[in-house]
Chain A
Amino acid sequence: MDFTFSFTEIADLKKFLEAVKTCENEVYFESADGDRLSLRSALCRLILYSICCRREQPKNAVIRCYGEHDRQLLMPYLKNHL
C-alpha cells in the first residue's frame, strides 16, 4: 500500500533524507514537472537537496512511500506531526 504527502510538509529535509536511508521500500519524490526521484539512491538524494536549495522551490511535489513501516518511520519528520 502506498502513502503520499506533500513535499512542503517536510520539516527538515536533511533529517528526512537521513530517515529515508533506513526505509524498507522505495521512497519517491514526484514533481508536477514529471520528475521522479528514488530517494534510496544517494545521487537522487543529492539531486533533490540541490534543487531544494534553489530560489525556485518545487511546487505541487509529493513524497510517495510504501508500507506502514516506512510511513511510521517518516511521519516524525513532517510539520503536522510536530
Chain B
Amino acid sequence: MKTDEKIAFFMELINCNYPLHYWKYNADMKLQETNWPNDLLSDAFFDYIGIKEATENHLKGGQTTPLILEAESNLLLIIGFQFVDKRPESIYVIGPILGGRDTHMVFRRKLDSYDLSVKLRAAMNRLFENIPAIPSNTLIQYAVMLHFCLNSEKISMDDVAMHNSISTPQTELSLNGNSHAGVWMNEQLLCKMLADGDSRYKEALQRSHSISHGMKTDIGDSLRYHKNNSLVLLTLCSRACISGGMPPQIGYDLNDYYAQKIEDCSSMTETSKLCKEMLEDYVSRMREIKSNTSVSNSIRSCCEYIKAHLTESLSIEELAKLTGYTEYYFSHKFKKEIGCSVNDYIVREKIERAKLLLTATDQSIQDISDELAFGNRSYFYTRFQKVTGMSPSEYRKTRNG
C-alpha cells in the first residue's frame, strides 16, 4: 500500500466519526493537495497561525514525531511528517479541530456579541459548526496513527509534541523565594485532620488562610480566582479523605458534585459558603466512616486527644483517667482495638509530626525533639530510626534534596 493510499484509508476511518480534512505539503511547505472545501481557513490562513514556523522549528530541533499545533480560539491541527532516507519528504496537516466540549457554545456566544453582517455571521457559524470538537486523548491517538501511516513506525502517545502558536508573555520561574513558608506544614496538618474526620480542621484551615491566600496567579477576575482556589481546596479535601479510608468512588463523586456547584456560584459569598458546607460534608462523612469501625468511642476520643497533645509528655495513667478505665484495662483495650500499645501509638503519631516538621520547617532536630516532648535527643533519634529506617538528619536530607 502506498503512503497516499494509506492516508486516504486513514482519513476514511477518521471520517466515520469526525469530518476532518487534510492538507499535504512538500518539505518546503508548499501546498500539494487538500480536500478542504471551504475558502475560509485556507492555506494562507495556516500561514497566519504560524504553521510554517512551528514545523520548521520542530524539524530543526531534530524531532521526527507528530506535532499538535494550537492556535487562537482553541483551534487545533495535527501535523505529521513523512521521512524518506531520514529526510522530510512530505508534511500532512489534519484538521481543523476544536479543543474542548464547550468551544462551539463559547464561539457562538462571542460571535453574537460582534457587529457582523448576516452574511458573514452565517458563514462563520456554518464554518465553526462543521469543525468537530475532539477529546485531546483521541487527538493524540490520531497523531500516533498518522505517524504510523507515514513512516510505518510505532510511537507512543508521549512522543507527540504540542505547540502553542499564541504568543504569551513569559513568566520567569523563581524557585528560591520564601513566599510559601509554612504552607506545606499547614496543608499537611489540615489534610490529616480531614482524613481523620477531626472537627478541629477549622482552626487548621484558618491558620492556612493566614499564611497563604491560594495560588499566586493574576487572572484579573476575582470570582474566577476564588473559584480556582475553592477547586484546589476541594481536590485536597477529597484526596485526603480517600487516603483516610473514604471509598474512592464516593470521594470522586462528591468531588464532581461540589466542583459543579463551585462553577455554578455567582458570587464570592456564595463560593465561601459552599466551601464551608463542602468541608463539613466531607468531615462528617469521615467521622461516620471512622465510627463504623470496631474502635470504641472512648478509645477513638483518646486517639484524638493524643493527636491534639503531641507537644506534651503523655502518660498511660493520664490517658486512662480520661477514659475512666483502670490503667491495666485501658492498655489492653487500646491494644486490642488499635492494634498497637498506647506508647507505640503515641510515638508513631509524634514521629509522623516530626517528619512533617523536618521537611516543612528549618527547625533544628533538637528543637523538634523538645517540641514533641521526646525527653532527650538520643531517644528521639532511636525511635525515629526504628520507625523510618533512617536518622532525622538523613530523612531531612533525602526529602529536601
Interface residues of A (CB under 8 A from B): 13-14, 17, 21, 31, 33-38, 41-47, 49-55
- Chain A's closest residue to B73 (CB) is A43
Q: Is B44 a contact partner of A34 (Cβ separation < 8 A)?
A: no
Q: Which residues of chain A are near B114, meaning CB under 8 Å?
A: 36-38, 41, 44, 47
Additional pairs, 6, CB under 8 Å, beyond known A14-B48, A34-B117, A47-B114: A43-B73, A50-B41, A53-B41, A53-B44, A54-B42, A55-B39
What are 10 A-B pairs at a CB distance below 8 A? A21-B167, A33-B117, A36-B116, A42-B73, A43-B110, A45-B72, A46-B72, A49-B48, A50-B40, A52-B44
Most buried by A among B75, B110, B166, B167: B110
Q: How many A-B residue contacts, CB cutoff 8 Å?
A: 65
Q: Is A42 a contact partner of B166 (Cβ separation < 8 A)?
A: yes
A-contact 0/1 string along B68-79, CB 8 Å cutoff = 000111010000
Q: A34-B115, A43-B73 are in contact. Are A51 and B166 (CB under 8 A)?
A: no
Assembled-state Cα–Cα distance A37/B103 (Å): 20
Q: Which residues of chain A are near B39, meaning CB under 8 Å?
A: 53-55
Assembled-state Cα–Cα distance A47/B122 (Å): 12
Q: Which residues of chain A are near B390, meaning CB under 8 Å?
A: none
Q: Is A42 a contact partner of B72 (Cβ separation < 8 A)?
A: yes
A-contact 0/1 string along B9-48, CB 8 Å cutoff = 0000000000000000000000000000001111111011
Interface residue count on the B side (C-beta < 8 Å): 27
Q: Which residues of chain B are near A52, meaning CB under 8 Å?
A: 44
Q: Is A46 a contact partner of B73 (Cβ separation < 8 A)?
A: yes
Q: A33-B120, A37-B114 are in contact. Are A51 and B72 (CB under 8 A)?
A: no
Q: Is B45 a contact partner of A53 (Cβ separation < 8 A)?
A: yes
Interface residue B83 (Cβ < 8 Å from any Cβ of A): no
Interface residue B124 (Cβ < 8 Å from any Cβ of A): yes
Q: Is A14 a contact partner of B47 (Cβ separation < 8 A)?
A: yes
Residue of A17, A38, A53 touching B40 (CB-CB under 8 A):
A53
**How far apart are A60's CB and chain B's nearest CB, in angstroms?**
13
- Chain B's closest residue to A52 (CB) is B44
Q: Which residues of chain A are near B75, meaning CB under 8 Å?
A: 46
Assembled-state Cα–Cα distance A33/B117 (Å): 6
Q: Is A43 a contact partner of B40 (Cβ separation < 8 A)?
A: no
Assembled-state Cα–Cα distance A45/B119 (Å): 18
**How far apart are A52's CB and chain B's nearest CB, in angstroms?**
8
Q: Is B120 a contact partner of A35 (Cβ separation < 8 A)?
A: yes
Q: Which residues of chain A are near B43, meaning CB under 8 Å?
A: 53
CB neighbors of A among B75-127 (8 A): 75, 107, 110-111, 114-117, 119-120, 124, 127
Assembled-state Cα–Cα distance A41/B113 (Å): 12
Assembled-state Cα–Cα distance A31/B111 (Å): 16
Assembled-state Cα–Cα distance A31/B116 (Å): 9
**How far apart are A63's CB and chain B's nearest CB, in angstroms?**
15
Q: Which residues of chain A are near B166, meaning CB under 8 Å?
A: 42
Assembled-state Cα–Cα distance A41/B166 (Å): 13
Q: Is B45 a contact partner of A35 (Cβ separation < 8 A)?
A: no
Assembled-state Cα–Cα distance A55/B38 (Å): 11
Assembled-state Cα–Cα distance A15/B130 (Å): 29
A-contact 0/1 string along B45-70, CB 8 Å cutoff = 10111000000000000000000000
Assembled-state Cα–Cα distance A14/B40 (Å): 16
Q: Which residues of chain B are near A43, meaning CB under 8 Å?
A: 72-73, 107, 110-111
Most buried by B among A36, A38, A42, A49: A49
Q: Is A36 a contact partner of B115 (Cβ separation < 8 A)?
A: yes
Assembled-state Cα–Cα distance A5/B41 (Å): 25
**How far apart are B383's CB and chain A's nearest CB, in angstroms?**
60
